[in-house]
């Protein structure tokens, strides 16, 4: 059997022969790393992507990009990528990585370091760029950002002469008293046991002024009154019924569909659902009837705080077409493509200027709220064992939300397990 570098050289040379001059990447050396590429990304609202790939493919017939859709849940996407990378598979060239995986993938050597000078990073939102760094080195390029928002039924609140809630007390009062009048559930987020639940819990803790870990991820600070308050807010909703029990099975898409069908008064979700709610269609009961605001805080003195989400594009260390992959990433993160990420995909772009564009604000009135939420969002710790940290959090929180464990038991379990995970890192 050929050694990997020998096999690589053969393949890249073969790929180098087929290109025509007008299709070569700008300034590229065509002898290495040029050829067809596969973009691996989670299957959530991906419909807008194929036209972007078609445009690239028309201009790059010898470096065609193919879309490979991975499962919907972020944890399952990670598992599939990790399985491939562990066996050094070249199946994926460009990886659309959740912002919380940069450290793990870089530390494991699965993605290649990149040159900052190859990308217009100074034009991107600053906190977003930080998510693509590991120990100061760039390993991925910001592609979409994300911050949690509160969607509400504007038609109903208007009818009841109520404003959208700014605090948990306002939210739970409305969810408890108004929602039943309209035969709907009060509030939901993403409460299935996975990364989405870690995010929802972290946001609740932060919105009470606390945290799970310190900013640098080295100390566990979850044994606090703020974390207990955050968990009690969610547990209270399930216990009192203003969070429907079914929400324990919701990820982003299930919860999006429930709100869209008119079954919920309030929903915590990411900005991508705005596009779906705003698009007329059978099964959409909320077009023209919803509003969106920043997440509520625990009380008037604590503004709501989102977790910083999003995705960055990285190049697999095992890709045989890394040069084409790099050019493709430059295309996907360029200003014209980023504008379409917003207008066609309803995903938050990473270019700062798009949030201040008056024409875009007119069309997407939530852009200023979104920018504010992204800039104020709290990043999750950049740690190679983030996945283990997150599993500990989501398991313990789920036990409390399912009303199997008390808040006290869940917090103490999280505290002990997180300390173990951090010490054993």
Residue 100 contacts ligand GLC per CB under 6 A: yes
Interface pick for ligand GLC out of 49, 92, 93, 98 (rule CB under 6 A): 98
- Which of 157-166's residues contact partners 24+ apart within 8 Å by CB, and which partners? 157/291, 164/291, 164/293, 165/266, 165/296, 166/293, 166/296, 166/297, 166/300, 166/304
> CB–CB of 39/68 below 8 Å?
yes
Nearer to ligand GLC, 98 or 260 (CB): 98
Count of chain residues binding ligand GLC (CB under 6 A) = 13
For residues 306 and 376, the answer to whether their CB atoms sit within 8 Å is: yes
Work out how close the CB of 362 gets to ligand GLC at its nearest, in angstroms, rounded to a whole number. Answer: 26
Q: Which helix (H) or strand (E) holds 253?
A: helix 252-260
Residue nearest to ligand GLC (CB): 309
Q: Which listed residue (270, 277, 351, 364) binds ligand GLC by CB under 6 A?
A: 270
99 makes contact with ligand GLC (CB under 6 A)? yes
Near ligand GLC by CB under 6 A: residue from 74, 305, 312, 394: 74
Distance CA 13, CA 315 (A): 19
Determine which helix (DSSP H) or strand (DSSP E) holds 310, and give its type and residue range: strand 308-315
Q: Do residues 397 and 413 touch, judged by C-beta distance below 8 A?
A: no
Minimum distance of ligand GLC from residue 213's CB (angstroms): 16
Instruction: Report the residue number, 146 or 337, with the smaller CB distance to ligand GLC.
Output: 146
In whole angstroms, the minimum distance from the beta carbon of 27 to ligand GLC comes to 33
Answer yes or no whether residue 196 interacts with ligand GLC by CB under 6 A: yes
Applying CB under 6 A, does 297 fall inside the site for ligand GLC?
no
Q: Is 345 in the site for ligand GLC (CB under 6 A)?
A: no
Among 164, 296, 310, 349, binds ligand GLC (CB under 6 A): 310
Picking from 298, 178, 159, 314, the residue whose alpha carbon sits closest to that of residue 229 is: 298
> How far is it, in rounded angstroms, from Cα 345 to Cα 45?
7
The CA distances from residue 233 to 185, 236, 299, in Å, are 16, 5, 12
Q: Sketch the per residue contact string, 31 through 70, with ligand GLC: x for CB under 6 A, - otherwise.
A: ----------------------------------------
Binding site for ligand GLC (CB under 6 A): 74, 98-100, 146, 195-196, 199, 252, 270, 309-311
């Amino acid at each position: 059997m050929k050694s990997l570098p020998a096999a690589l050289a053969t393949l890249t040379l073969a790929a180098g022969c087929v290109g025509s001059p007008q299709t070569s990447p700008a300034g590229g050396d065509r002898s290495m790393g040029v050829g067809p590429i596969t973009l691996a990304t989670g299957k959530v609202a991906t419909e807008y992507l194929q036209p972007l790939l078609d445009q690239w493919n028309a201009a790059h017939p010898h470096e065609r990009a193919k879309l490979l859709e991975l499962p919907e849940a972020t944890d399952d996407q990670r598992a599939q990528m990790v399985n491939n990378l562990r066996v050094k598979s070249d199946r994926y060239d460009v990886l659309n990585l959740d912002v919380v995986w940069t450290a793990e993938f870089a530390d494991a050597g699965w993605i290649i370091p990149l040159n900052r000078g190859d990308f217009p990073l100074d034009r991107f939102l600053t906190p977003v760029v930080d998510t693509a760094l590991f120990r100061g080195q760039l390993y991925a390029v910001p592609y979409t950002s994300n911050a949690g928002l509160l969607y509400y039924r504007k038609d109903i609140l208007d009818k009841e002469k109520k404003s959208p809630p700014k605090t948990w007390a306002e939210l739970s009062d409305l969810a408890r008293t108004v929602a039943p009048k309209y035969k709907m559930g009060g509030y939901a987020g993403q409460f299935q046991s996975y990364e989405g639940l870690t995010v929802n819990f972290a946001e609740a803790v932060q919105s009470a002024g606390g945290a799970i870990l310190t900013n640098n991820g080295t100390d566990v600070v979850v044994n606090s009154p703020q974390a207990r308050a955050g968990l009690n807010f969610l547990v209270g909703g399930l216990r009192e019924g203003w969070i429907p029990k079914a929400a324990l099975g919701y990820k982003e898409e299930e919860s999006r569909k429930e709100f869209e069908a008119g079954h919920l008064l309030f929903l915590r979700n990411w900005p991508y659902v705005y596009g779906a709610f705003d698009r007329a269609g059978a099964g959409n009961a909320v077009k023209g009837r919803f509003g969106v605001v920043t997440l509520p805080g625990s009380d008037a003195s604590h503004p709501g705080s989102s977790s910083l989400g999003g995705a960055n594009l990285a190049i697999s260390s095992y890709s045989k077409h890394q040069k084409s992959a790099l050019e493709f990433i430059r295309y996907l993160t360029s200003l014209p493509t980023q504008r379409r990420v917003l207008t066609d995909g309803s995903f938050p772009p990473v270019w700062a200027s798009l949030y201040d564009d008056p024409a875009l604000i007119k069309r997407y009135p939530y852009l200023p709220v979104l920018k504010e939420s992204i800039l104020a969002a709290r990043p999750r710790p950049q740690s190679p064992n983030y996945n283990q940290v997150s599993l500990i959090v989501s398991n313990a929180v789920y036990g409390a939300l399912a009303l199997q464990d008390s808040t006290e038991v869940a917090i103490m379990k999280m505290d002990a397990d997180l300390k173990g995970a951090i010490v054993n890192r």
